């Protein structure tokens, strides 16, 4: 399996522009998570989906952020308009969830998308 | 409000010695704890976990200790190797089913030859 695939790996944009980050989870995983990594706060959970349905978006910082999961193999995180304080590394992760033989709670992370907003 | 805290941003240890990374949490409802390791330009990868019903879990050179009364856990790496140089994240989870892992800020471990 190729693992969680994220694109783009790097994005540099100007303040006010729309940013779209993409994620392909591991096939068969029924949970998908979007995290943001900053020096001050470490890894923050933004939103997670179960079977393509958003379960908890309480970590989404503002209305400028939105996330979708139109099918089991694709998700997007959109920032519109972007601001310099949104500069961070955004990680997508997927998991099988709890129970059965897979109750370690292990998340499988992509390599991240480094966003710089000038 | 940081529910999981790693108060040491960095740690430097000599190769062959023991590395001890610490983590504190505030939410007594957390009942499952994990450590993740992250190399530069890569995503975090799972390292080891522990359930709140245990106070120790060991996997090779890695041991995690949990002190529930102190709301504290630690990761011991012995002996430390240069390949262990990475950022280590502590994470905690509420009772099973919630799926919401809460991560600490991370500790950058450097193993010196």
| pLDDT band for position B31 (cuts 50, 70, 90) | confident
**Phi then psi dihedrals of residue B95, to 5 deg:** -50, 150
CA-based radius of gyration for chain B: 13
- Closest CA relative to residue A24, chosen from A99, A85, A109, A102: A109
- Among A7, A43, A59, A90, the strongest candidate for a mutation testing the B interface, having the largest count of B CBs within 10 A, is A43
Report the distance separating Cα B85 and Cα B13, nearest Å: 9
Percent of residues, chain B, with pLDDT higher than 70: 95
Please indicate if any CB of chain A lies within 8 Å of the CB of B108.
Answer: no
- Closest CA relative to residue A106, chosen from A115, A96, A91: A96
With CB atoms and an 8 Å threshold, state whether B43 touches A103. Answer: no
Please indicate if any CB of chain A lies within 8 Å of the CB of B53.
Answer: no
Q: How far is CA B73 from the centre of its chain?
A: 7
Report the distance separating Cα A62 and Cα A45, nearest Å: 13
Q: What pLDDT, on a 0 to 100 scale, did the predictor assign at position A104? A: 60
| Tens-place pLDDT, residues A22-76 | 999 999 999 999 999 988 888 999 999 999 999 999 899 889 999 999 999 999 9
Q: Is the pLDDT confidence value at A21 over 50?
A: yes
Q: What pLDDT, on a 0 to 100 scale, did the predictor assign at position B92? A: 92
Q: What pLDDT, on a 0 to 100 scale, did the predictor assign at position B60? A: 97
With CB atoms and an 8 Å threshold, state whether A43 touches B96. Answer: no
By Cβ distance, the residue of B43, B45, B104 closest to A42 is: B104
Report the distance separating Cα B111 and Cα B113, nearest Å: 7
With CB atoms and an 8 Å threshold, state whether B43 touches A111. Answer: yes
Among the ranges given (B13-17, B49-53, B91-95, B105-109), the one the predictor scored with the smallest mean pLDDT: B91-95
Among the ranges given (A114-118, B11-15, B30-34), the one the predictor scored with the smallest mean pLDDT: B30-34
Q: Is the pLDDT confidence value at A79 over 60?
A: yes
Question: Rounded to the nearest 10 degrees, how much is the dihedral formed by the CA atoms of A9, A88, B87, B53?
Answer: -110
Among the ranges given (A6-15, A89-98, A106-115), the one the predictor scored with the smallest mean pLDDT: A89-98
CA distances from A117 to A38, A88, B53 (A): 14, 9, 45
| pLDDT band for position A103 (cuts 50, 70, 90) | low
């Amino acid at each position: 399996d190729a693992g969680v695939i994220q694109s783009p790996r790097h994005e540099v944009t100007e303040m006010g522009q729309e940013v779209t980050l993409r994620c392909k989870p591991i096939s068969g995983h029924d949970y998908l998570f979007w995290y943001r990594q900053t020096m001050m706060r470490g890894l923050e959970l933004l939103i997670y989906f179960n079977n393509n349905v958003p379960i908890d978006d309480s970590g989404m910082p503002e209305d400028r952020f939105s996330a979708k999961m139109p099918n089991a193999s694709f998700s997007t995180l959109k920032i519109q308009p972007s601001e310099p304080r949104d500069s961070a590394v955004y990680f997508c992760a997927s998991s099988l969830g709890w129970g059965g033989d897979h109750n370690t709670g292990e998340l499988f992370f992509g390599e991240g998308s480094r966003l710089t907003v000038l | 409000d940081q529910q999981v805290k790693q108060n040491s941003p960095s740690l430097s240890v000599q190769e062959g010695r023991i590395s001890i990374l610490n983590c504190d949490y505030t939410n007594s409802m957390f009942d499952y704890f994990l450590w993740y390791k992250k190399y530069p330009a890569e995503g975090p990868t799972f390292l080891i976990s522990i359930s709140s019903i245990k106070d120790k879990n060991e996997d090779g050179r890695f041991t995690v200790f949990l002190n529930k009364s102190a709301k504290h856990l630690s990761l011991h790496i012995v002996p430390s190797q240069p390949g262990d140089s990475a950022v280590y994240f502590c994470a905690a989870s509420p009772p099973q089913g919630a799926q919401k892992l809460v991560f600490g800020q991370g500790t950058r471990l450097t193993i010196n030859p």
